[in-house]
Amino acid sequence: MNWIDNRLPLTKLFKEHMSEYYAPKNFNVWYIFGSLSLLVFVIQIVTGIFLTMHYKPDAALAFGSVEYIMRDVPWGWLIRYMHSTGASAFFVVVYLHMFRGLMYGSYRKPRELIWLFGCGIFLALMAEAFMGYLLPWGQMSYWGAQVIVNLFSAIPFIGPDLALLIRGDFVVGDATLNRFFSFHVIAVPLVLLGLVVAHIIALHEVGSNNPDGVEIKNIKDAKGIPLDGIPFHPYYTVHDIFGVSVFLFVFSAIIFFAPEMGGYFIEYNNFIPANPLVTPAHIAPVWYFTPFYSMLRAVTADFMYVLTASVAIGGALLAWKGKMPTLFRLVVAGGTVVLIALLLLIEAKFWGVVAMGGGVVILFFLPWLDNSEAKSIRYRPTWHKYMYALFVLDFLLLGYLGMLAPTDLFNLLSQIGTMFYFFFFLLMPWWSRIGTFKPVPARVVYTGH
């Protein structure tokens, strides 16, 4: 070990990031989803390598090669189902991990950069999942890609050329499959890996947050060790191993007994070879994209008037009531007028794409939108908990509606849900300050569990 340490600081790294990295002693079950995300990432890389050995990125052979993996490659069906189930599991644990950050204010100072890297991981993960979804070359893979890529053509001026660049052809075909395969296997995983490393380094630099939102580094003993901290190893490695064990039981049960999960993890239409001449009755993405797909569908020509009125009212209130110099008020008023003109001039399809992308991008601004006195939901006014509960229900409703064929009622619900989603964030600088906050303790509150 000395020979290695003289050439590579292995022991030093282990001490810095494991045995002498002091984490708050009051972590709860919400803090296992970060390590589970890392576990699923490793599962996806390993299973992806084995799938790549037998998969053929050719429009004429892709579907057949997936069937070959499932039927003829020894244990190929297991590797494929691990990979497809892993994709959904990845989003489950990442959504829960992000919600924990939302509840306990893990995006607040000094952890803004950790949150930004995390949102970057989420964005890259969505790109990775979308590109991987095309590869089986089934009916839903083909038509889902056709719909999503065509959305880029709605962008003014550059849209048609951008859609052509992404497809590599005038329709989704062999060139598209090769491009998506290259990005799915090489480019995006490298970006993901870099972002994950940056996320962990940034986390270990400033230290972990905790359910109380208290900085444990503020109170240290004579040796400089936080009084409310315990070494990550062995305490939280054991904590995480227990979480991993429970996760693997559930993960294995799904793989062996319900890998398609009733058509939610793998749609039944994807067991039919892609046919450019037959359009499925209802085209919808996989469940983890459906909340944002609902936002896309919610923006119709009629809904544009509601958006225009909302922008006009919001801009007027900001310019009138906002605490800012006169010059900034004029800039806000002018910007509002320009945005209203663009809303009226550019077709609704483009603004649907903006809403879909904006649903993800707005998460990047969360550290600067939340102005509450307390980081953690524990010390905020009780009604804040109801706001977060409504947000979760709204997100689930949008996800459910995105799976269904559109009707007038479902479109109306999607529009209401989309408005609430964006108002939750855009009005956060105002509502997050309202109410009677509970006193935040100087040290973490810990009870054995």
Confidence of residue 133 (pLDDT cuts 50, 70, 90): very high
Closest to 219 measured CA to CA, from 15, 376, 441: 441
Give the pLDDT mean for 268-272.
92
d(CA 88, CA 44): 11
What is the reported pLDDT for 47? 97
Whether residue 360 sits in one domain with residue 300: yes
- Residue 396 covered by a domain: yes
Give the pLDDT mean for 82-109.
96
Whether residue 314 sits in one domain with residue 364: yes
Whether residue 340 sits in one domain with residue 262: no
Tokens linked to 299: 């923006």
Please check if 17 is assigned to a binding site: no
- Residue 2 covered by a domain: no
- Residue 221 covered by a domain: yes
Check pLDDT > 60 for residue 449.
Answer: no
Please check if 184 is assigned to a binding site: yes
Whether residue 309 sits in one domain with residue 259: no
Domain end: 239, 258, 281, which one?
281
Give the pLDDT confidence of 4-35 residue by residue, as tens digits: 999 999 999 999 999 999 999 999 999 999 99
Domain end: 222, 254, 281, which one?
281
Q: How many structural domains compose the chain?
A: 2
Whether residue 262 sits in one domain with residue 151: yes
Give the pLDDT confidence of 353-409 residue by residue, as tens digits: 999 999 999 999 999 999 999 999 999 999 999 999 999 999 999 999 999 998 999
- Residue 6 covered by a domain: no
Whether residue 288 sits in one domain with residue 249: no
| Sign (positive or negative) of CA dihedral 333, 338, 339, 340 | positive
Whether residue 106 sits in one domain with residue 82: yes
Closest to 265 measured CA to CA, from 397, 133, 396: 133
Give the pLDDT confidence of 46-73 residue by residue, as tens digits: 999 999 999 999 999 999 999 999 999 9
HEC string for the chain: CHHHHCCCCHHHHHHHHHHCCEEECCCCHHHHHHHHHHHHHHHHHHHHHHHHHHCCCCCCCHHHHHHHHHHCCCCHHHHHHHHHHHHHHHHHHHHHHHHHHHHHCCCCCCCHHHHHHHHHHHHHHHHHHHHHHHCCCEHHHHHHHHHHHHHHHHCCCCHHHHHHHHHCCCCCCHHHHHHHHHHHHHHHHHHHHHHHHHHHHHHHHHCCCCCCCCCHHHCECCCCCECCEEEHHHHHHHHHHHHHHHHHHHHHHHHHHCCCHHHCCCCHHHHCECCCCCCCCCCCCCHHHHHHHHHHHHCCCCHHHHHHHHHHHHHHHHHHHCCCCHHHHHHHHHHHHHHHHHHHHCCHHHHHHHHHHHHHHHHHHHHHHCCCCCCCHHHCCHHHHHHHHHHHHHHHHHHHHHHCCCCHHHHHHHHHHHHHHHHHHHCHHHHCCCCCCCCCCCCCCCCCC
Domain end: 254, 281, 308, which one?
281
- Residue 449 covered by a domain: no
- Residue 241 covered by a domain: yes
Confidence of residue 423 (pLDDT cuts 50, 70, 90): very high
d(CA 24, CA 231): 9
Give the pLDDT confidence of 278-329 residue by residue, as tens digits: 998 888 899 999 999 999 999 998 899 998 998 888 888 877 766 667 777 7
Could you check whether the bond before residue 189 is cis, i.e. omega within 30 degrees of 0? no
> Residue 305 sits in a domain of what CATH number?
1.20.810.10
Please check if 199 is assigned to a binding site: yes
- Residue 259 covered by a domain: yes
Domain that holds residue 83: 11-281
Whether residue 288 sits in one domain with residue 277: no
Give the pLDDT mean for 421-440.
93
Whether residue 300 sits in one domain with residue 248: no
What is the reported pLDDT for 324? 67
Check pLDDT > 60 for residue 420.
Answer: yes
- Residue 448 covered by a domain: no
Whether residue 135 sits in one domain with residue 273: yes
d(CA 37, CA 89): 9
Give the pLDDT mean for 194-223.
93
Confidence of residue 448 (pLDDT cuts 50, 70, 90): low
Residue where the block lists tokens 């892993």: 86
Please check if 97 is assigned to a binding site: yes
Whether residue 222 sits in one domain with residue 291: no
What is the reported pLDDT for 224? 86
Whether residue 109 sits in one domain with residue 83: yes
